[in-house]
Structure 1
């Protein structure tokens, strides 16, 4: 382990010090027959970006572990977990190579000390960059050409004894479901002390081996090329209690059969964002909602949720006229798009559907796409709030995705389980209008 003395002055009152750096390797060498992990056709379409998740744990009075003990438990269990998720500890041979060399080089594990108390830490200030420094080696958004790590971890110790565990996983080797499965597996190994414990075995990763593709990784993803913008964007979190979501579902129930929480909330967020942009510009402009959907359950032979990789498809909902932005019409279009995802026969078929959307994306009114498109992802149903390493469940969680350079909505189950947290990224002027929308505020609580 390398001891570090890097000191960051985050604000006048908050000091953040990197105190150690380590490389965690699999507890056992990866067998020769598993030393190459081929990326699938869907993986190749994924952005070269990290998924940066942080879980905040308060000091647990019933847990006698010291800060050093917690770090030791995390490192040991991570090493054990990497024997199952062996490709996480590997490297891409080059920036365009379509496979991972599972060479056991390991993943970076940093420890840091923050002089503030966790209960005083502003969890909603990601728009000011107050989460970025909690992650290892700037692994917050788009992959740096100088950083070859697929996964990075940073354990942040707060003055009160609480911790913030930050993990970044490259989108090339998995989606949000993969990240959730890995966190549950790692935490269970930590709690039970072995990856072979009977409680851990059902959480083992499921791999689908795909043939080596001849297609190289692109230097820059299509979505990033068109959507990234230098426009100033901010992120704010809005909380929608289940009782309010039930009221929202009733609004469209007469016109739409059995709408889900995610469908109605995504429609409300998109409708409100488009209305804010219209108010700012003075006229309606054609807009697009891009939604990512987990297709594991849509395969003819359903895939386990522990299936590793990117098993997603993209739905595109265009609104070319203002009359198409009613919540009921948007929900109906989302449901129509979802029906087209069913009956997936193979990874190749799912990738073909993704490529079709990309093709439409390239050819359909590109001049409007930079500011007139909204990307939406839902992590609802993924048990990030249940990740227990032995000192209790997290008090809060967050994704540091502020620098994605686009309009975006990210939905997660609220920490108390009674609703959905919506992390919204919009242009600064649009956000000023969005956060004061009376219809939106009637269904939510807002964290400014």
Structure 2
């Protein structure tokens, strides 16, 4: 039954042992056969967001590996009756709608001779992670694919598992992926999509009118940052509380307007951005005007708040410019983040949100943006997303990993630590600046470093 043999770097042996297509347990009704992408979805790039969850061997679980796979397939089939567009296909890679004809989801089972303890600490930029995903559906690696979802379950030599899921970004954002994974896992635990525990997890679909494909919008200028490296830092919640107190004290002591209740993500983002700009200044010998770009979940920003299980790309981008060196303080950056947040409030419709995002994308894609800032830093936060809680019935994952190899950008990815007691930050900078960044005394006073 072995269909393909792949040799990975570091002499890892990776074998595909089974491949099939999982279809919904019930046919999609005729009136739902076409799922129109919203105007926000159509602004998303057709690439595959990859997530892998690492599960250790659970001595208390009586299910065999075969039984686990069987349960995952069965529960996925049931889940696809609720998430019916996930079993469909884009009419074309650039189509503004999904054909919900129940073609199903590719489900691959593979054997890998690696140890879980090695892979769970691998760099998010390591290309060997690509082989853990079905059909290599990792970011922009399969631009002609019309699949919405791909799944690969990897069995490791130690008895652990890696559940890798690739979701087309046109169908939804990270929040959508998190909702789907927890719905699927809950069906595996409870055995029925009608179980009362699943009601809050059921997907919420926004009806979108049919439309022609939205013309592509110029993306943020690709600076082509070369020689980038990653480092991982862990910031305990106790330290983030200290950082928040420090920021509020700076506000009280200065002329900065009052900041109301910044979150731990707000203050950490400010610290990372400030430290990165300081490192860039030290490396080049002069201050470089910069801007910080922060994707934001806007489901709760609508006048009529949307459920967190709303399927789609409900994301906008906040932009914080730093034109002068005196604007790099923690309190100033936090204030600007709070201002940007407040400007997102009161969205009346998906169309309005799409027009706002399209306007920003056009601005960022304009080469004249370099007149404002020479460097851009992205900060994406997955904090609060339930990836660390995805339990199929044999325990929660040791780790959730989102490969970052695709990023030709510099910046930060934030996510909750597996125990929920802090934030883990993957920092990507050019090598010369990272050497300065990772020695910054203020930043290190709030963190623990873990090189990746």
TM-score, structure 1 as length reference: 0.94
Shift of 1:321: 1.1
Cα deviation code 1:138-158 (max 9, x no counterpart): 222225233222211111111
Partner of 1:308, secondary structure, is: coil
Shift of 1:446: 1.4
Shift of 1:215: 3.5
Residue 6 of structure 1 corresponds to which residue in structure 2? 5
Return the alpha-carbon distance in structure 2 between the equivalents of residues 247 and 223 of structure 1: 37
Residue 242, structure 1, aligned to residue 245, structure 2 = no
Return the alpha-carbon distance in structure 2 between the equivalents of residues 291 and 44 of structure 1: 20
The verdict on how the C-alpha distance between 1:407 and 1:345 changes in structure 2, with shifts beyond 3 A counting, is same
The verdict on how the C-alpha distance between 1:61 and 1:237 changes in structure 2, with shifts beyond 3 A counting, is same
Return the alpha-carbon distance in structure 2 between the equivalents of residues 369 and 213 of structure 1: 35
334, 350, 368: which one aligns with 1:347: 350
Task: Please list, as runs of the form range in 1=range in 2, the aligned pairs for 1:110-189 lying within 5 A after superposition.
Answer: 110-142=108-140, 144-189=142-187
* Residues 97 and 216 in structure 1, CA contact (< 8 A), matched pair in contact too: no
Shift of 1:88: 1.0
Shift of 1:319: 0.8
Return the alpha-carbon distance in structure 2 between the equivalents of residues 364 and 443 of structure 1: 37
283, 305, 316: which one aligns with 1:302: 305
Residue 323 of structure 1 corresponds to which residue in structure 2? 326
Return the alpha-carbon distance in structure 1 between the equivalents of residues 273 and 380 of structure 2: 12
* Residues 291 and 373 in structure 2, CA contact (< 8 A), matched pair in contact too: no
Shift of 1:27: 1.4
Shift of 1:227: 2.8
* Residues 229 and 370 in structure 1, CA contact (< 8 A), matched pair in contact too: no
Partner of 1:141, secondary structure, is: coil
The verdict on how the C-alpha distance between 1:261 and 1:363 changes in structure 2, with shifts beyond 3 A counting, is same
Return the alpha-carbon distance in structure 1 between the equivalents of residues 403 and 276 of structure 2: 21
Return the alpha-carbon distance in structure 2 between the equivalents of residues 230 and 417 of structure 1: 33
Return the alpha-carbon distance in structure 2 between the equivalents of residues 425 and 17 of structure 1: 31
Residue 388 of structure 1 corresponds to which residue in structure 2? 391
Return the alpha-carbon distance in structure 2 between the equivalents of residues 405 and 446 of structure 1: 23
38, 41, 45: which one aligns with 1:43: 41
Shift of 1:29: 1.5
Cα deviation code 1:253-293 (max 9, x no counterpart): 13133221010111111111222222222212221111111
The verdict on how the C-alpha distance between 1:400 and 1:371 changes in structure 2, with shifts beyond 3 A counting, is farther
Cα deviation code 1:354-404 (max 9, x no counterpart): 122123213474447997111121111111111100000111111112222
79, 87, 90: which one aligns with 1:89: 87
* Residues 46 and 94 in structure 2, CA contact (< 8 A), matched pair in contact too: no
Return the alpha-carbon distance in structure 2 between the equivalents of residues 18 and 97 of structure 1: 31
Residue 224 of structure 2 corresponds to which residue in structure 1? 229
Alignment: residue pair count: 443
The verdict on how the C-alpha distance between 1:139 and 1:235 changes in structure 2, with shifts beyond 3 A counting, is farther
Partner of 2:385, secondary structure, is: coil
User: Is 194-203 or 263-272 further displaced after alignment?
Assistant: 194-203
Task: Please list, as runs of the form range in 1=range in 2, the aligned pairs for 1:357-436 lying within 5 A after superposition.
Answer: 357-363=360-366, 365-367=368-370, 372-436=375-439
User: Is 241-250 or 112-121 further displaced after alignment?
Assistant: 112-121
User: Please, what is the CA RMSD of the aligned residues?
Assistant: 1.9
Shift of 1:217: 5.6
The verdict on how the C-alpha distance between 1:80 and 1:414 changes in structure 2, with shifts beyond 3 A counting, is same
User: Is 269-278 or 356-365 further displaced after alignment?
Assistant: 356-365
Return the alpha-carbon distance in structure 1 between the equivalents of residues 271 and 330 of structure 2: 6
* Residues 10 and 16 in structure 1, CA contact (< 8 A), matched pair in contact too: no
Structure 1: which 5+ runs fail to align?
none
Residue 213 of structure 1 corresponds to which residue in structure 2? 211
Return the alpha-carbon distance in structure 2 between the equivalents of residues 101 and 230 of structure 1: 39
Residue 441, structure 1, aligned to residue 444, structure 2 = yes
247, 251, 271: which one aligns with 1:252: 247
Return the alpha-carbon distance in structure 1 between the equivalents of residues 178 and 46 of structure 2: 19
Return the alpha-carbon distance in structure 1 between the equivalents of residues 416 and 231 of structure 2: 16
Return the alpha-carbon distance in structure 1 between the equivalents of residues 373 and 229 of structure 2: 16
The verdict on how the C-alpha distance between 1:444 and 1:380 changes in structure 2, with shifts beyond 3 A counting, is same
Return the alpha-carbon distance in structure 1 between the equivalents of residues 66 and 372 of structure 2: 49
